[in-house]
Amino acid sequence: MNVCMVGHGMMGTWHSDSLKDFGCTLHTLVGREAPKTEAFAVDYEYRKWTTDYSAAVSDDEIDIIIIAGPSATHASMAIQALEAGKHVLVEIPLALNYPDALEVVELAERLGLTLGVVHPMRFRREHVELCKRVGAGEENVRHVHSRLFLHRLENVGSTGLHRSWTDNLLWHHGAHLVDVGLWLAGGGVPQRAAARITRSFAIMPPPLPKTGIPMELAAMIETDRQQTIVCTGSYHSQERMFDIFVVTDREAYRLDILKGTLSLSGREQPVQSEKENNAQVSRDFVSAVRGGKAPLVTGRSVLPAMSILQSIEDEQAKWWDAHPDAEARQ
């Protein structure tokens, strides 16, 4: 299996680390700046490097394309790769709106190609086991609270790399938060929880002029099984937090992703680090393509979360239009 990696920021680095000794070939690296792209390609022993994505996509030697570039390019790059007959793994988010996400999914299905999305929360062993118990009727999820707080007023990624693009709290980190809530509440099947939603609402302030995006998110979802899903996040926070708190009829689980710990009703134990857990995603995808099966996280399986994010964006846009003074107060 020959892999083309698009992007060499934090996620491009993590995917390269996870695949370099996994029985596949790191074939081509696509980057934006030639010197940095070449240096990374040499370090990770890619056979080729280029700043021309179209040239990489048209290479008949490439089997798989992993898209880890700017969020706004994910959908268009995925479509181009699929049309070239490549299997595609897309970093979260699949797109920055629901129609684009649906277009990518339907194209992959129509062409019979494998489409996966990087949703690493679904690979957490502790949560996978919980989902199995929920699916078997042994335990019931009552409440999920997913939180992401960090300080991102500049276009600088987690590795300190200055980006050419602006991150997006709703569509990037919100996709993590909403999807994991649906997945856990649905016992491993997001569509199941989404079909049971009775009401939902969210609050986002208008886009901050400095960044062009809303910097806060608070969303609440209720299902007909008396489950609540709460997703909160901020790009203003001086304290970094990323955790998932799950309350069931048997236990309370708090996964601290940054610390690498799981607390069971206050009893803390170590778990895989964020990078170790993420390594499973690209390996699972390569194995799926090699074995002719579906990856753990398919494109279609993330559509329920994308639909909710679209509803949040649409509803907030209407509220901002009706309250034009809100932006002036920022």
Task: Grade residue 120 by pLDDT with cuts at 50, 70 and 90.
Answer: very high
pLDDT of 40 > 80? The answer is yes
pLDDT of 285 > 80? The answer is yes
Average pLDDT score over residue span 129-137: 96
How many helices (H) does the chain have, and how many strands (E)? 11, 14
Strand order of the β-sheet with 115-118 is 48-50, 25-30, 2-6, 64-67, 87-91, 115-118
Q: Quick one: which of 224, 213, 247 has its CA closest to 330?
A: 213
Average pLDDT score over residue span 299-326: 94
| Global pTM value | 0.95
pLDDT of 156 > 60? The answer is no
Average pLDDT score over residue span 149-161: 67
d(CA 77, CA 297): 19
pLDDT digits over 167-207, tens only?
899 999 999 999 999 999 999 999 999 999 999 999 999 99
Residues of the chain with CATH 3.30.360.10: 120-271+299-328
For β-strands 252-256 and 236-248, DSSP reports them as antiparallel
Residues contacting residue 214 through CB under 8 Å, at least 6 positions apart: 169, 170, 204, 205, 206, 207, 208, 316
Is omega for the bond preceding 295 within 30 degrees of 0, making it cis?
no
d(CA 159, CA 11): 10
pLDDT of 158 > 60? The answer is no
- Fold (CATH) for 120-271+299-328: Dihydrodipicolinate Reductase; domain 2 (3.30.360)
Whole-number pLDDT of residue 165:
47
Task: Grade residue 212 by pLDDT with cuts at 50, 70 and 90.
Answer: confident
Q: What are phi and psi of 127, to 5 degrees?
A: -75, -30
Average pLDDT, the chain: 95
- Residue 87 Cα to chain centre, angstroms: 18
pLDDT digits over 226-253, tens only?
999 999 999 999 999 999 999 999 999 9
Average pLDDT score over residue span 63-68: 99
Average pLDDT score over residue span 6-17: 96
The secondary structure of 225-257 as a DSSP string is: TS-EEEEEEESEEEEEEEEEEEEESS-EEEEET
| Identity at 244, one-letter amino acid code | I
CATH no. of 2-118 = 3.40.50.720
Residues of the chain with CATH 3.40.50.720: 2-118
The count of residues in the chain is 330
Whole-number pLDDT of residue 8:
95
